[in-house]
Chains A and B, each alone.
Chain A
């Protein structure tokens, strides 16, 4: 009896695990939808900014802003790593950390044309934090309040801090490691340089058909639009990371549920076999006993 009962117990516990993974999958799906909506909203916002920028640059205005200027020497870098607060999301955290470590090694070793950078590491998400510390990387700042719906106000505060540091020359470069959302089937961990802020995205095709009045002036507005555009870009990184995390969790939990299904099937078969052989055994014993009595 012992074997069949043990098998049944295992099957029960796998059923419970399956219930949990299935629920997590559903939760991740719901969260993914919400996160996706927000990501679409920020895309709308950045597109409108791009439109305005295109209009402005069609007047021949040149943007002048400290964020657009590359510092003469790059000595101090800041690496912001966006990971998840929770696990059970497949390779999501691992791939972010891998990308971050590659960048970290590249920066901390001197190259042919440059010396090693003085690095500040900032991490969002406890998982990335513990993974980095395990690899002996000192984390200077940990943000843990970004989950599936990062708030703009919080990201804005971080963005303003970076803008301030960059303008003051406390950092010469800012890279963000995050998981970019390409499509539902594809998300990739990437390292993106946010500062120095490359050229403002310019769409020449859209420009020039309407004559706008500018107030204060095209140059003035361009200079003001740079920080806003930077904040939106950083916010987009956070949102992309949130969307990718939910997708990763969805996929991981889906395959976990499927694996549990397979296991339950296999265990059921073994269990039935064990039960049957036990019954056969018992019948044989009874027959043997009856025969012994009748003799």
Chain B
């Protein structure tokens, strides 16, 4: 049976190199499922959860922006940061969320930065919470 080959590459190392039956990647505006035989696709990723289903087991990772390329049953994720959901630093994420909520942005740039921080922190917390 055909399988999906999933590779997550960061500038530091090839973090994940696995096979799966089904993968869910976090696009910037929602989740995106990739099954076997998916059409070639390139998309922009946001903060969120990457899920790989293989043999009834699901492995979850947190991805912090990047790009995804799907081709010939190979899913390549290019990202700056990837962590297994168990290894998410919940305290740091909570601190970041708190800090972002207390920010009082006045310029467009500051607003954008705050939104990005909020989104990043919430996505991390969400990904870690789902697991319990």
Contacts and interface: CB of A to CB of B under 8 A. Distances in A.
Interface stretch (B49-57, B74-82, B93-101): B74-82
Interface residues of A, number: 31
A42 B40 CA distance: 24
Contact of A42 (B11, B44, B81): B11
Interface stretch (A108-116, A137-145, A228-236, A240-248): A228-236
Interface of B: 9-14, 27-28, 32, 39-44, 66-67, 69, 71, 76, 78, 80-81
Given A52-B67, A152-B80, A213-B40, 9 more contacts: A41-B13, A45-B10, A55-B42, A151-B12, A212-B41, A212-B71, A215-B32, A221-B44, A228-B78
Q: Identify whether the interface residues of B are mostly helix, strand, loop, or mixed.
A: strand
B40 A232 contact: no
B39 A213 contact: yes
A232 B39 CA distance: 28
Interface of A: 38, 41-42, 44-45, 48-49, 51-52, 55-56, 151-153, 156, 210-216, 220-221, 224-225, 228, 231-232, 235-236
A211 B39 CA distance: 9
Q: Identify whether the interface residues of A are mostly helix, strand, loop, or mixed.
A: helix
Contacts of A232: 11
B78 A42 contact: no
B9 A215 contact: no
A235 B43 contact: no
Interface centre among B12, B41, B71 (most CB of A within 10 A): B12
B10 A152 contact: yes
A140 B41 CA distance: 45
A221 B67 contact: yes
Contact of A224 (B14, B39, B44, B80): B44
Given A212-B40, A213-B42, A221-B43, A44 B80 contact: no
Interface centre among A152, A153, A236 (most CB of B within 10 A): A152
A38 B27 CA distance: 27
14 contacts: A45-B10, A49-B67, A52-B42, A55-B69, A152-B10, A212-B71, A213-B39, A224-B44, A224-B67, A228-B67, A231-B11, A232-B11, A235-B11, A236-B11
Contacts of B78: 45, 48-49, 52, 228
A210 B44 contact: no
A212 B78 CA distance: 17
Given A52-B67, A215-B41, A215-B43, A228 B80 contact: yes
